[in-house]
């Protein structure tokens, strides 16, 4: 049986992993990339909202379910040969209720997916504190039940380490404080030669 050009072209699925602080613009950029590239979008809040309908938000049970289900969902997409863009909030000093740090979690995710022959493109988005405070209460955030409180965001800015990056192969770090989402998406496409 003859394979279509599309299936030959997509022998190894591509996973573009966009991570960073709250309000840095992960979903906005991921949406632009998904539209430009025709990739599936698996964003942080789609899974989080589903889990939080069953388990109370902020509880250990909720966090544990998110930690366990996200890798399974992404692994399933890879096995189905789906090119996708996914987002995740990342804090270098976060430790989950199961005791895993964000750096270890992200590194384990990279290892798990690359073992399945995915082409893994990590992108760490960063912005300065003043810009994150400006973005946190933008109206677009309310639609996904995201944090919109400047008061809570100020606490996060003190307690969360959003500057440091995990050790990942091909990790692209972009400070998008003064860059438009379109510009950032173009930078990602050009850097990784995405099609």
Beta bridge partners of 84: 15, 40
Contact 65, 55 (CB under 8 A): yes
- pLDDT tier for residue 141 given thresholds of 50, 70 and 90: confident
Check residue 5 and give its pLDDT. Answer: 40
pLDDT(7) > 60: no
pLDDT(13) > 70: yes
pLDDT(170) > 60: yes
Q: Which residues contact 33 (CB under 8 A, 6 or more apart)?
A: 16, 18, 39, 85, 185, 188, 189, 194
Mean pLDDT to the nearest integer, 93-110: 94
Nearest to 24 by CA among 127, 142, 170: 127
Check residue 4 and give its pLDDT. Answer: 35
- Write out the DSSP string of 157-174: HHH---S-----TT-EEE
pLDDT(114) > 70: yes
CA distance 49 to 54: 9
Contact 49, 42 (CB under 8 A): no
Mean pLDDT to the nearest integer, 129-146: 86
Largest alpha-carbon pair distance within the chain?
60
pLDDT(73) > 90: yes
CA distance 89 to 106: 11
Cα angle, residue 12 at apex, residues 7 and 15 outer, rounded to 5°:
115
Q: Considering the chain, what is the average pLDDT of its residues?
A: 91
Mean pLDDT to the nearest integer, 64-71: 90
CATH number of the domain located at residue range(s) 5-189 in this protein: 3.40.50.300
Q: Encoding tokens for residue 119? A: 């082409």
Q: What is the pLDDT of residues 75-88, one digit of tens each?
A: 999 999 999 999 99
Nearest-10 Cα torsion for 149, 150, 151, 154 = 130
Check residue 8 and give its pLDDT. Answer: 39
CA distance 102 to 105: 5
Check residue 6 and give its pLDDT. Answer: 43
> Would you list the domain boundaries of the chain?
5-189
Mean pLDDT to the nearest integer, 93-117: 94
Least confident window among 42-46, 161-165, 181-185: 42-46
Which residues in 70-90 are b (16+ Cβ under 10 Å) and which e?
A: beeebbebbeeebbbbbbbbb
């Amino acid at each position: 049986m003859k394979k279509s050009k599309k299936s030959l072209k997509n022998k190894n699925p591509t996973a573009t992993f966009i991570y960073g602080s709250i309000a840095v613009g992960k979903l906005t950029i991921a949406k632009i990339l998904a539209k430009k590239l025709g990739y599936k979008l698996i964003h942080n809040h789609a899974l989080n909202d589903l889990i939080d309908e069953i388990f109370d938000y902020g509880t250990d049970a909720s966090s544990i379910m998110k930690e366990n289900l996200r890798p399974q969902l992404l692994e399933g997409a890879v096995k189905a040969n789906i090119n996708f863009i996914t987002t995740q909030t990342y804090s270098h000093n976060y430790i989950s209720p199961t005791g895993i740090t964000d750096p270890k979690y992200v590194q384990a995710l990279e290892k798990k997916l690359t073992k399945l022959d995915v082409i893994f493109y990590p992108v760490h988005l960063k912005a300065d504190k003043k810009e994150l405070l400006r973005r946190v209460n933008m109206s677009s955030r309310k639609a996904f039940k995201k944090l919109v409180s400047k008061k809570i965001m100020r606490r996060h800015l003190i307690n969360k380490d959003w500057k440091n990056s995990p050790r990942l192969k091909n990790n692209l770090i972009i400070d998008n404080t003064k860059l438009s989402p379109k510009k950032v998406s173009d930078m990602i496409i050009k850097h990784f030669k995405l099609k």
